[in-house]
């Protein structure tokens, strides 16, 4: 139990730092490239406003799109890291147990033993 708790604590700490790196990757590298492809659209500033005065509401769907892209990149990177870790820590497969006699062979042996009696 102790080892699992320590592994989880290390994972949380590294995950927090890794999240900052991925956020910077998305904000500073990927989203500007996506903006160029989409005609220099800055996704973080896309929004729609409804109503006026005190009842006004603003839907910041651009920030939502950015967060989705951020999440997908983080999830993909974590998937690759876990896949690599599993490949490295893969234990040697245990050799298969030798195959025993088949059902027909057992029945034949029983029949032969009964004939001898």
Q: Is 57 helix (H, G, I), strand (E, B) or coil?
A: strand
CATH 1.10.1200.120 fits 2-88, yes or no: yes
Number of residues written out for the chain: 117
Q: Let me know: does 81 contact 88? Beta carbons within 8 Å.
A: no
Each residue's pLDDT, cut to its tens digit, for the chain (117 residues) gives: 556 777 788 888 887 887 788 778 777 887 778 778 877 766 778 888 888 878 888 888 888 887 887 788 778 877 887 788 778 777 655 566 677 788 888 899 999 999 987
Per-domain boundaries in the chain: 2-88
Task: Give pTM, 2 decimals.
Answer: 0.50
């Amino acid at each position: 139990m102790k080892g699992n708790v320590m592994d989880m604590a290390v994972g949380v700490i590294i995950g927090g730092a890794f999240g900052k790196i991925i956020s910077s990757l998305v904000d500073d590298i990927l989203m500007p490239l996506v903006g160029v492809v989409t005609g220099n659209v800055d996704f973080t500033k896309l929004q729609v406003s409804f109503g006026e005065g005190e009842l006004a509401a603003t839907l910041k769907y651009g920030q939502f799109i950015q967060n989705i892209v951020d999440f997908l990149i983080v999830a993909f990177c974590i998937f690759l890291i876990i896949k690599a870790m599993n490949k490295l820590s893969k234990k040697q497969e245990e050799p298969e147990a030798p195959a025993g006699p088949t059902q027909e062979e057992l029945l034949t042996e029983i029949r032969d033993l009964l004939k001898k009696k």
